[in-house]
A and B are shown apart, each in its own frame.
Chain A
C-alpha cells in the first residue's frame, strides 16, 4: 500500500487513533494539501476530527444498509422459481453480507468497532438506506431491486472509489464490481419476466411502478436541502451532488426501460434537447422524510428482525469468545472473566 506520505506530501501521523492536542494547524495544512492533490488519506495519517466523524457516519450507514438490505431479498430465497435464480439470489445476498464485512472493517480503521456501530443501528441512533423500508411483494421485486436499487447505488458509489479516504475507496472498488454484476442480473431477471407470460409481464411492470420513485429518492434530498453535502464535497468524500447523480441515473434508466419493454411511472418524463438530459416529475419528498422518520412500510419490521437475529445469536458469540479465551493460551484472569459472565 502506498501511503500519501510515501507519495511525496510529507504528512504527520496521528498519535494513536485519535488526534491529540498540539499544533493542529500544521497538521491541517498538510491534510488540506493532500486532499487538494487528490492523494489518499490513510488510517495512520492525521485527519480532522470532523472528517473522521463524517466518514464513520457515512461508512456505518453504508454498512448497515448492506446488512438490512439482505432482508427484503432474503424474503424470496425460499420461493425462488428456478434453481438457477435461487443460486443467483443466494449469492447476491451473501455478497451483501460480505460488503457489510468490508465496510465495518473500513470503519474500524477509523477507530470505531463493529459492535459499537451495530449497537447504534439497533438502538436507532444510526440510519440505513430508507429504500429497504419498502416491502418485496412479488418475485419481480427481486429484479427491480437489482436493476433500480443496485443501479442507483452504483451511480452513487462509483465516485466513492475515488474518495479521499483510502480504505473506504478500496472497499468501494470491490463492492462496485459486485454491485454491477447484481444490477445486470436484476435487469436480466426483469427481461425474462417482461418477455414471459402476460402475468409475468404485469408482475414486472408492477414492481417497476413501485420501486421507481423510491429509487430516485436514494440520492438524498435536493442539493439545496442536503445537510452534509457541501463539507463532504470539499473533503472529496463526495464528488458529485445529489441532484447531479439523480439526473445521471434517470438518463441511464430511460433507454434501459425501453429495452426491457417496461414503462417508468412518470408522465412528465421526457427528453430535453436543450439540457441534453431527461426532465422528470416532482419527487414526493414528504414520503421520503416520513420513511426516514420511521413511518415507512417496513421500518419496524427490518429493525426488529435485525435486533432479534443479534439477540438470539448472543449465546453463540459468547460461546465462541469463551472457547477462544480458553484455547488461545489466554490468561487465567480471562478464563475467570468468561466463566463469570457465563453465570451472570
Chain B
C-alpha cells in the first residue's frame, strides 16, 4: 500500500464504496431461504459474503465498522440508490446485479491499476466481482432468452432499475477515475449483454427528475429507511454492548 493508514484515506470515498457493498450485501442476504433453486441459495449468499467482506474493510478505513453500519442515520449513508432497491422478483435482483456488478468491476479494475489508497483492496475485490458479473450475465441470458414469461419479467426489471443507473457515474470525491470513460464502457458492456439476452436497452432517462446523484449525498428512497430500521434495531437496543 503506497498510502497506508486511515489518515490518508479519503473518507468520503471509503464510505461511498463501503456503503454500496454493505447495503447490497444486506439486500442479497434477504434472499436466504427464498431462492428459486438450491444452487442460487449458495450463489447469492456467496456474493453477499464477498460484498460484506469488502464493506468491512472499507468502513474500517473510515472508522469503526459497527458504529458506521449500525449507528448512522439514513441521511448519512452514501450508497447508490440502486443497491438499496428492494429485491423484487428474481429478475429484479438479477438486473440490479447486472447493473451494479458491471459498474463495480470496471471501477475496481481502474482503482486496482492505480496507486491510490484503494488499490490493494480493489485488486482483491476485482477478482470477486468478476464472478458476480459473470453470475448476473449468465442469469440475464437465461431469463431474457428463456421463456416468454421470463423475458417479460427481465424486460420489466431492466426498465424499472434503469433510472437508477445514471447515479453510478457521479464523481466520488477522492477517487481518481475518468467517470465519463467508465460510463461509456458500462453502457457498452450492458448493451452487449442485453443484446445477447434478446433484450433491448431501456429507453427511459437514467436519472430521476430531481434526484440525480442523490444517494451519494445521503438522499435515499423510502424502502431504505425500513431496511435500516431492521438492520440496526438489535444493535441500537443494547447501547454499548459487545456481541
B243 close to A85 (CB less than 8 A): yes
A81 close to B147 (CB less than 8 A): no
* Given A74-B33, A79-B231; A104-B150 close (CB under 8 Å): no
Interface residue? B146 (CB, 8 A): yes
Distance in angstroms from A118 CB to nearest chain B CB is: 9
B36 close to A313 (CB less than 8 A): yes
* Given A90-B45, A192-B242, A316-B90; A83-B55 close (CB under 8 Å): yes
Question: How far does the alpha carbon of A315 sit from the alpha carbon of B154 in the complex, in Å?
Answer: 11
Q: Which of A101, A200, A319, A324 contacts B150 (CB 8 A)?
A: A319
Contacts of B148 in A (CB 8 A): 342-343
Contacts of A83 in B (CB 8 A): 22, 52, 55-56, 59, 65-66, 69
Contacts of A71 in B (CB 8 A): 33
Contacts of A313 in B (CB 8 A): 35-37, 90
Distance in angstroms from B46 CB to nearest chain A CB is: 7
Contacts of B243 in A (CB 8 A): 81-82, 84-85, 189, 192-193, 196
Question: How far does the alpha carbon of A139 sit from the alpha carbon of B65 in the complex, in Å?
Answer: 20
Question: How far does the alpha carbon of A40 sit from the alpha carbon of B78 in the complex, in Å?
Answer: 57
B37 close to A319 (CB less than 8 A): no
CB-CB nearest in chain A for B152: A315
* Given A90-B48, A94-B41, A192-B243; A319-B53 close (CB under 8 Å): no
Interface residue? B1 (CB, 8 A): no
Question: How far does the alpha carbon of A197 sit from the alpha carbon of B237 in the complex, in Å?
Answer: 12
A90 close to B241 (CB less than 8 A): no
Q: Which of B109-117, B123-131, B137-145, B175-183 contacts A (4 or more CB under 8 A)?
A: B137-145
Contacts of A67 in B (CB 8 A): 38, 41
Distance in angstroms from B95 CB to nearest chain A CB is: 13
Q: How many residues of A contact B (CB 8 A)?
A: 53
Question: How far does the alpha carbon of A94 sit from the alpha carbon of B34 in the complex, in Å?
Answer: 12
B234 close to A342 (CB less than 8 A): no
Contacts of A70 in B (CB 8 A): 32-33, 41
B36 close to A90 (CB less than 8 A): no
Contacts of B149 in A (CB 8 A): 315, 318-319, 342
A305 close to B33 (CB less than 8 A): yes
Contacts of A121 in B (CB 8 A): none
B56 close to A87 (CB less than 8 A): yes
Q: Mark A300-331, 1 if CB is under 8 A from B, else 0.
A: 00000100011011111111101110110000
Main secondary structure, interface of A, reads helix
A101 close to B39 (CB less than 8 A): yes
B53 close to A93 (CB less than 8 A): no
Q: Mark B48-86, 1 if CB is under 8 A from A, else 0.
A: 110011011001000001100110000000000000000
A320 close to B142 (CB less than 8 A): yes
Interface residue? B206 (CB, 8 A): no
B70 close to A81 (CB less than 8 A): yes
CB-CB nearest in chain A for B236: A81
CB-CB nearest in chain B for A306: B33
Interface residue? A77 (CB, 8 A): yes
Q: Mark A179-203, 1 if CB is under 8 A from B, else 0.
A: 0000000000100110011011000
Question: How far does the alpha carbon of A89 sit from the alpha carbon of B90 in the complex, in Å?
Answer: 23
Question: How far does the alpha carbon of A320 sit from the alpha carbon of B240 in the complex, in Å?
Answer: 48
Interface residue? B135 (CB, 8 A): no
* Given A71-B33, A196-B242; A82-B49 close (CB under 8 Å): no
B33 close to A309 (CB less than 8 A): yes
Contacts of A90 in B (CB 8 A): 29, 32, 45, 48-49, 52
Question: How far does the alpha carbon of A248 sit from the alpha carbon of B56 in the complex, in Å?
Answer: 40
B153 close to A78 (CB less than 8 A): no
Contacts of A292 in B (CB 8 A): none
Contacts of B153 in A (CB 8 A): 315
Interface residue? A166 (CB, 8 A): no
Question: How far does the alpha carbon of A100 sit from the alpha carbon of B42 in the complex, in Å?
Answer: 10
Question: How far does the alpha carbon of A231 sit from the alpha carbon of B242 in the complex, in Å?
Answer: 50
Contacts of B37 in A (CB 8 A): 313, 316-317, 320
Q: Which of B22, B48, B142, B147 has the most CB of A within 10 A?
A: B147
* Given A101-B42, A305-B33; A82-B66 close (CB under 8 Å): yes
CB-CB nearest in chain A for B197: A323
Q: Which of A77, A114, A343 has the most CB of B within 10 A?
A: A77
Q: Which of A82, A93, A324, A343 contacts B235 (CB 8 A)?
A: A82
Interface residue? A159 (CB, 8 A): no
CB-CB nearest in chain A for B26: A78
CB-CB nearest in chain B for A325: B146
Q: Which of A78, A79, A193, A342 contacts B147 (CB 8 A)?
A: A342
A77 close to B32 (CB less than 8 A): yes
Question: How far does the alpha carbon of A310 sit from the alpha carbon of B35 in the complex, in Å?
Answer: 8
Interface residue? A291 (CB, 8 A): no
Q: Mark B200-243, 1 if CB is under 8 A from A, else 0.
A: 00000000000000000000000000000011011100101111
A87 close to B29 (CB less than 8 A): no
Q: Which of B36, B41, B233 contacts A316 (CB 8 A)?
A: B36
Contacts of A324 in B (CB 8 A): 142
* Given A78-B30, A81-B70, A200-B241; A323-B36 close (CB under 8 Å): no
Q: What are 22 A-to-B residue pairs whose CB atoms are below 8 Å?
A: A74-B33, A78-B26, A78-B30, A79-B231, A81-B235, A83-B56, A91-B49, A94-B45, A98-B42, A100-B38, A101-B38, A312-B89, A313-B37, A315-B149, A319-B147, A320-B37, A320-B142, A322-B146, A326-B145, A327-B145, A338-B147, A343-B148
